[in-house]
Amino acid sequence: MSRVLTLVFAGLILLLQYPLWLGKGGWMRVWDLDRQVGAQQKVNLDLQKRNNGLEAEVRDLKNGLGAIEERARFELGMIKEDEIFFQVLETPGASAPPRAAPQ
């Protein structure tokens, strides 16, 4: 009798534990959602840093001529009036030291 009662209680405990661990709102689901939230927070932080950089660049472009001049020089290849532009072209293999001729 006591063995049957023990098995019945053990079965009830298992039935109660199933939804806690594996059910819709169980611990496994909570752990998975917690992991997803952490990953999304990292993505949000990276995007916030990028947005802050873009905001600073926009503010710089609106207020200062230095940023506009820098962009014109490097992205568009523009030069100032009365400035001389030098372009140095490297020939292929010029950076390597000369080889000795085989004897």
Express each pLDDT in 58-103 by its tens digit. 888 788 787 778 888 888 888 888 888 777 888 887 665 556 555 5
Q: What backbone phi and psi angles, to 5 degrees, belong to 5?
A: -60, -40
Question: pLDDT per residue over 18-31, tens digit each?
Answer: 777 777 777 888 88
Average pLDDT over residues 34-45: 97
**CA separation for the pair 57, 66 (Å, rounded):** 11
pLDDT recorded at residue 25:
76
